[in-house]
């Protein structure tokens, strides 16, 4: 019975915690310009994330090590410094864009500029991390994040041509604006497979004390939870395809994204959109901050635990405090949140090889995971994913130049 409860909770938190600024914005932009044609990238990204989440959970359950621990212990400090630095840099930019997302939602709700909201949002996030424990942080924002189901509701209400939706799940090349198409494709992959997500997941598994008997729950949570999440992103894209594309609205400001739901659900739709954006991004804010602090603390061997009081992990607490407030400052300074979101998604995508490829090694290391190492299927999938990430890495710079707005 407890297992079913755990599983349900796991799935629910995965759904509620899936969307964030990057996935929402890239899905909206993709739908607005290319209709259903980029749905396959959401599917691809979601599958990739599913793979990585399941494996990072399995790693934590079997070895008691998080991804951060394992990267340092298996590869040594010499290699670890690479995912550490890239992970922190990229995550910081994503974090700032998430704070931007919340701030923009508040701006659209109140009329007060997002720059004024940035620091209060950062403080609110900090407060939740400071006073809360891991369970509260993870489950709280994820349960509230279920408001994002409104996107599925709206998508269904629009009665899309499911045949054409299905066609969008097959990779096709664009019939116009090639660079922008591939730019968005890569960004969506970056938005779906954010490394902080699966690194955070393994830390959570260790915080919650997972063992080998949690492996099936882990697999089910990863598969079902992430699938639902992917469906959410797809729903956003579908709505944008049906609402923005016919009107020729290209989304290069958050305010335009706010026009997504009103045509379908009226004023309630607008309110729910703001709630979804704000809550989803806020959840991501706390998670990314924690993920960054986890990575640094675990890699250097500090005490780390969101369950413990800040006093017990002084360096860890200081790290996340400084990080979230600094990210708030970046937004308060007035960086364009949408541009930052797009850019950080691209950067995330480009940095994927650095964390994905080591997972390949970790999950096949018999000395590490023993009999729980990857079966041929996981390896094949992970191998394909690794190749995709390398291709993405090499295409990132040209695409940013050619396809970025």
Partner 1 sequence: MTARECRVELLIGRRVVDASGEVVGRLEEIVADYVDDEYVVREFHVGAFAALERLGTGIFGRSLLRLIGGGRIYTGYIVPWRHMDLSDPEHPRVTVAKSELRRIGETPGPRSSARPAAQRRSRRSA
Partner 2 sequence: MHDLLDKVVLDEGRRNVGRVDGVVLELRPGAAPVVSAFEIGGRVWARRLHGRIARWAVAFGRRWPALGNGVTRFAMRDVRTIGITVSVKRDGRPTPALAWENWLREHVISRIPGA
Residues that bind partner 2 (CB under 8 A): 63-65, 69, 72-73, 76-78, 81, 130-131, 300-304, 309-311, 313-315, 317-318
CB-wise, 2 or 311, nearer to partner 2? 311
| Residue 80 found at the interface with partner 1 (CB under 8 A) | yes
CB-wise, 40 or 360, nearer to partner 1? 360
Residue 40 class from Cβ within 10 Å (0-12 exposed, 13-18 middle, 19+ buried)?
middle
Give residues 343-362 in contact with partner 1 (rule: CB under 8 A).
357-358, 361
* Residue 401 CA to its chain's centroid (Å): 24
Candidates 1, 366, 371, 375: give the one binding partner 1 (CB under 8 A): 366
CB-wise, 75 or 360, nearer to partner 2? 75
Count the residues of the shown chain that bind partner 1, applying the rule CB under 8 A. Answer: 15
54 binds, among partner 1, partner 2, none (CB under 5 to 8 A by kind): none
Candidates 76, 209, 246, 398: give the one binding partner 1 (CB under 8 A): 76
| Residue 79 found at the interface with partner 1 (CB under 8 A) | yes
355 binds, among partner 2, partner 1, none (CB under 5 to 8 A by kind): none
CA-closest candidate to residue 101, choices 288, 238, 231: 288
CB-wise, 176 or 311, nearer to partner 2? 311
Give residues 368-397 in contact with partner 1 (rule: CB under 8 A).
379
**Nearest distance from C-beta of residue 391 to partner 1, angstroms:** 18
* Residue 158 CA to its chain's centroid (Å): 26
**Nearest distance from C-beta of residue 383 to partner 1, angstroms:** 10
CB-wise, 329 or 361, nearer to partner 1? 361
Q: Which string of b and e fits 188-200 if b means at least 16 CB within 10 Å?
A: bbbbbbbbbbbbb
CB-wise, 56 or 227, nearer to partner 1? 56
**Nearest distance from C-beta of residue 361 to partner 2, angstroms:** 14
Task: List all residues 6 or more positions away from 382 whose beta carbon is below 8 Å from its beta carbon.
Answer: 51, 55, 356, 359, 360, 363, 374
- Cα(206)–Cα(129) distance, integer angstroms: 18
- Cα(202)–Cα(128) distance, integer angstroms: 21
- Cα(20)–Cα(279) distance, integer angstroms: 9
**Nearest distance from C-beta of residue 311 to partner 2, angstroms:** 4
CA-closest candidate to residue 91, choices 294, 247, 266, 242: 294
Task: List all residues 6 or more positions away from 151 whose beta carbon is below 8 Å from its beta carbon.
Answer: 19, 232, 235, 236, 239, 261, 276
Binding segment toward partner 1, per CB under 8 A, in 11-19, 68-76, 93-101, 253-261: 68-76
CB-wise, 34 or 80, nearer to partner 1? 80
Candidates 75, 123, 130, 270: give the one binding partner 1 (CB under 8 A): 75
| Residue 4 found at the interface with partner 1 (CB under 8 A) | no
Give residues 242-261 in contact with partner 1 (rule: CB under 8 A).
none
List Cα–Cα distances, 119 to 83, 93, 105, 197, 315, in angstroms: 28, 16, 14, 24, 22
Candidates 364, 390, 393, 404: give the one binding partner 1 (CB under 8 A): 364
- Which positions lie near partner 1, rule CB under 8 A? 74-76, 78-80, 82, 357-358, 361, 364-367, 379
């Amino acid at each position: 019975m407890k297992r079913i409860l755990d599983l349900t909770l796991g799935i629910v938190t995965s759904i509620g915690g899936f969307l964030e600024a990057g996935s929402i914005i890239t899905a909206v932009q993709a739908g607005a310009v290319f209709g259903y044609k980029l749905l396959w990238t959401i599917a691809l990204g979601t599958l990739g994330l599913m793979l990585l989440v399941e494996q990072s959970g399995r790693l934590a359950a079997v070895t008691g090590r998080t991804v951060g621990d394992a990267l340092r212990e298996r590869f040594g400090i010499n290699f670890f410094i690479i995912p550490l630095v890239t992970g922190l840099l990229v995550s910081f930019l994503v974090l700032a864009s998430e704070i931007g997302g919340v701030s923009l939602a508040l701006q659209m709700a109140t009329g007060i500029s997002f720059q004024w909201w940035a620091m209060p949002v950062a403080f609110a996030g900090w407060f939740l991390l400071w006073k809360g424990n891991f369970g509260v942080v993870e489950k709280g924002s994820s349960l509230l994040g279920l408001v994002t189901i409104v996107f599925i509701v709206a998508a269904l209400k629009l009665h899309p041509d499911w045949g054409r939706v299905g066609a969008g799940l097959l990779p096709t090349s664009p019939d116009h604006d090639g660079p922008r198409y591939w730019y968005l494709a890569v960004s969506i992959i970056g938005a779906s497979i954010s490394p902080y997500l699966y690194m955070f997941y393994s830390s959570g598994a260790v915080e919650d004390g997972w063992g080998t008997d949690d492996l099936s729950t882990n697999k089910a949570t990863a598969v079902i939870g992430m699938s639902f999440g992917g469906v959410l992103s797809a729903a956003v894209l579908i709505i944008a395809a049906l609402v923005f594309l016919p009107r020729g609205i290209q989304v290069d400001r958050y305010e335009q994204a706010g026009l997504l739901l009103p045509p379908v659900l009226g004023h309630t739709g607008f309110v729910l959109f703001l709630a979804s954006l704000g809550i989803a991004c806020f959840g991501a804010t706390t998670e990314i901050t924690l993920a960054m602090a986890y990575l640094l603390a675990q890699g250097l061997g500090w005490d780390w635990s969101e369950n413990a009081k800040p006093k017990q992990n002084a360096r860890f607490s200081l790290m996340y405090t400084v990080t979230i407030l600094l990210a708030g400052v970046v937004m308060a300074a007035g960086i364009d949140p949408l541009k930052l979101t797009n850019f950080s998604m691209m950067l995330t995508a480009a940095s994927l090889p650095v964390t994905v490829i080591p997972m390949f090694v970790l999950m096949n290391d018999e000395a590490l995971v023993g009999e729980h190492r990857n079966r041929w299927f996981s390896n094949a999938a992970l191998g394909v994913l690794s190749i995709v990430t390398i291709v993405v890495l090499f295409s990132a710079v040209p695409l940013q130049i050619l396809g970025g707005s």
